[in-house]
Amino acid sequence: MGERATPGEKVQAVQKLRQKYALTLLLEITQLPRATFYYHRKRMQKADKYAEAKEGINAIYHENKGRYGYRRITAVLHNRGMCLNHKTVQRLMKQLGLVCRVRMKKYRSYKVGKIAPNLLNQNFRAQ
């Protein structure tokens, strides 16, 4: 199944076609309310509040070859003097498409329990 377009993507499409077609027609086709259109258009014009933070997160992620998750990246950002909440870092990482590698747990076959002594001299063989 195809993915549905987000309102932001719809607004961008309407913006491109707005010179050729009437706005009311485009909004009706995309099933986008007029208020939503203007809200997203205004939002796109604003400067990105977290542009510097995104650069820092991206740099830390690639310095550590994708091994750092949001917790460790938050700690490194705090050490570098950039105070961001861990939830903000997690959200920005999701927007940037950064996913840390999950370490596989090692298999430890050498942890074998002791064999109990046969105190009752039980014989479980079929005859």
Residue 126 Cα distances to 33, 43, 123, angstroms? 79, 79, 9
pTM over 0.85: no
pLDDT value, residue 126:
77
- Closest CA relative to residue 36, chosen from 13, 16, 10, 4: 10
14 burial class (0-12, 13-18, 19+ CB within 10 angstroms)? Answer: buried
Predicted confidence (pLDDT) at residue 1 exceeds the cutoff of 60: no
pLDDT value, residue 99:
95
pLDDT value, residue 40:
93
Domain boundaries, the chain: 7-45, 51-96
Average pLDDT over residues 64-77: 96
Which parts of the chain fold into alpha helices (H)? 7-17, 23-30, 34-45, 51-63, 70-79, 86-96
Query: pLDDT tens for residues 22-63?
Result: 999 999 999 999 999 999 999 988 888 999 999 999 999 999
Predicted confidence (pLDDT) at residue 67 exceeds the cutoff of 50: yes
pLDDT value, residue 29:
93
Predicted confidence (pLDDT) at residue 2 exceeds the cutoff of 60: no
Name the region of 125 (left: φ>0; alpha: ψ -120 to 50; beta: rest).
beta
Query: pLDDT tens for residues 99-117?
Result: 998 888 888 777 677 888 8
